[in-house]
Amino acid sequence: MKRRLLISTLGCLLFVNVLLGFRVYNAQAASPEDDTGYAQISVFARAVQLIRQDYVDSKKTSYHDLIYAAMKGMLASLDPHSQFMDPADFKDMQDDTRSRFNGLGIEVSVKGGLLTVITPMEDTPAAKAGILSGDQILRINGTSTEKMELQDAINVLRGTPGQKVTLTVLRPATKEIKDHVLERAEIKVQSVKSTRILEPELGGSFKIGYVRLVQFNEPTADELEKALDELQKQGMQALVLDLRNNPGGLLNSAVDVCAQFLPPNTTVVSTQGRVASQQSDYATSANAKQRPRFPLAVLINEGSASGAEIVAGAMKDLNRGILVGETTFGKGSVQNVVQLPDGSALRLTTAQYYTPSKQIIHARGVTPNITVPLNGEQERALFASRSTENLKPEDELNLIKTKDPQMLRAVDALKGVMIYAQQAAPQVDPVRK
């Protein structure tokens, strides 16, 4: 331990001396096998010294810019989700969790080496332009995204409201390449939407509730609790929980959402990482509000990611709900965010999520119990309806009946469960006097 501390101290001293302008002569060359902090930091420090000393444009060689650039490259080399955030980026991330930011309303990740749309958020410029989950962004304002870091792409997508951004998008399903000119806007995300009892034309004699979760942020669990309270007051007998195109969000929020459907102290997800501190089980609160165990169907698709996959995986593994739709995105890695002294931060992948039955989510996704795909026309119609304000009830009903087979199948599954439960209920003989 003392030897490691000494090496670390010597390495830091060497690093500081070089950055302060002292020259290091006859430094021992570090080989790839020599992976000690002292040897490798000396190489890095020497590189910084040479750039500061000899690079042609002195305006690009401040210590701040060089070190930030090095940290961005270092984190980007690990995986698509680890990243270095400067203070402005870190503030943007904090705003995300509070449901407000400026941009296009598009959630992106890197999949197969390509900048890929996880989901367009409804009521945003991206959704209104018809961008869909799985679309690949080839260029932003004419600049190729092939070698663009994820955070750099996000920074271009976001910005001052009113400014226009041109996205060149490839839709893999049709091989169509199209330019979309979008205007940035202030994005305010309401995480719980469309709470209602479904029309009798869908539910028949049963009162089937419907709730759509747009993402998992700080107020989501509280908003869902209020929505379920209201539906129960209206006599709800079963529920469709729509997680389609929900890109996820906060882990704790997803766990708290699970608590609305599961008993207290129920493990809903676990993490496994390289160190013992990353081996964790996440369970519903001991003080969670108890509800009747009403039949539950969960709608999922390729745009369901991260927190949405945690909820879907828990409902499936614990036999609490029927999953209907398509296999989810497969974003199941854990990022810890650590703030640095200057206000910047590291987002570092430290573990992977596992469902209660120890199924890995990352790169595999969660598969539905009942597979019901949507074709391109149906998917576009669904997105268009969610981007239309004040859609009339009769129009929404017609849309479900003609363009949303996933919803219809979920409702049929719930009706089947309730009919079976009624038939299986013991018959009580009248009391004889």
- Identify each DSSP E strand in 100-258 by its residue range: 100-103, 106-111, 114-120, 136-140, 143-144, 164-171, 176-183, 185-188, 192-197, 208-213, 238-242
At 128 the pLDDT is 85
Domain that holds residue 412: 192-423
| Domain shared by 184 and 262, yes or no | no
At 366 the pLDDT is 98
Contact 109, 349 (CB under 8 A): no
| Domain shared by 415 and 329, yes or no | yes
Contact 336, 274 (CB under 8 A): no
- Note whether residue 85 is domain-resident: no
- Note whether residue 203 is domain-resident: yes
| Domain shared by 131 and 198, yes or no | no
- Residue 342 in tokens: 């200057």
- Note whether residue 369 is domain-resident: yes
Contact 121, 189 (CB under 8 A): yes
Identify the H or E element spanning 64: helix 63-76
At 91 the pLDDT is 83
At 427 the pLDDT is 65
Average pLDDT, the chain: 87
For 174-231, the pLDDT digits (tens) are: 999 999 999 999 877 789 999 999 999 999 999 999 999 999 988 999 999 999 999 9
What burial class does residue 196 get, using C-beta atoms within 10 Å of its C-beta: 0-12 exposed, 13-18 middle, 19+ buried?
middle
- Residue 180 in tokens: 């979309």
- Note whether residue 225 is domain-resident: yes
CATH of the domain at 124: 2.30.42.10
At 277 the pLDDT is 83
Identify the H or E element spanning 400: helix 393-403
Q: Under 8 Å CB-to-CB from 103, ≥6 apart: which residues?
A: 157, 158, 159, 184, 185, 187
CA–CA distance, 146 with 172 (Å, rounded to integer): 16
Number of domains in the chain: 3
Q: Among residues 132, 153, 188, which one ends one of the domains?
A: 188
At 429 the pLDDT is 57
For 132-169, the pLDDT digits (tens) are: 888 999 999 999 999 888 888 988 898 889 999 999 99
| Domain shared by 107 and 46, yes or no | no
For 306-345, the pLDDT digits (tens) are: 999 999 999 999 999 999 999 999 999 988 899 999 999 9
Measured in degrees and rounded to the nearest 5, phi and psi for residue 269 equal -160, 150
Q: What percent of the chain has pLDDT over 70?
A: 88
| Domain shared by 6 and 143, yes or no | no
CA–CA distance, 180 with 170 (Å, rounded to integer): 11
| Domain shared by 338 and 402, yes or no | yes
Only one residue has tokens 């006859």, namely: 26
Q: Under 8 Å CB-to-CB from 50, ≥6 apart: which residues?
A: none
List, in sequence order, every residue forming a beta bridge with 354; answer none if it has no partner: 270, 360
Q: Phi-psi category of 112—alpha, beta or left, where left has phi over 0 and alpha has psi -120 to 50?
A: left
Contact 232, 288 (CB under 8 A): no
CA–CA distance, 136 with 109 (Å, rounded to integer): 10
pLDDT > 50? residue 21: no
Q: Among residues 172, 188, 204, which one ends one of the domains?
A: 188
* 0.85 exceeded by pTM: no
Q: What does DSSP assign to residue 308?
A: H
- Note whether residue 89 is domain-resident: no
| Domain shared by 183 and 200, yes or no | no
At 326 the pLDDT is 98
- Note whether residue 433 is domain-resident: no
CA–CA distance, 418 with 160 (Å, rounded to integer): 51
At 37 the pLDDT is 82
- Note whether residue 148 is domain-resident: yes
Residues comprising the chain, all counted = 433
| Domain shared by 131 and 33, yes or no | no
CA–CA distance, 121 with 214 (Å, rounded to integer): 8
Identify the H or E element spanning 65: helix 63-76
Q: Among residues 188, 217, 233, which one ends one of the domains?
A: 188
| Domain shared by 200 and 327, yes or no | yes
Contact 220, 188 (CB under 8 A): no
| Domain shared by 152 and 227, yes or no | no
Share of the chain residues as helix, strand and coil, in percent rounded to the nearest 5: 35, 25, 40
At 392 the pLDDT is 76
More confident residue, 23 or 391: 391
Q: What does DSSP assign to residue 58?
A: G
- Note whether residue 385 is domain-resident: yes
What burial class does residue 417 get, using C-beta atoms within 10 Å of its C-beta: 0-12 exposed, 13-18 middle, 19+ buried?
middle
| Domain shared by 363 and 313, yes or no | yes
Sign of the Cα torsion 211, 126, 152, 167 reads positive
| Domain shared by 314 and 397, yes or no | yes
Active site residue ranges? 306, 317, 331
CATH of the domain at 240: 3.90.226.10
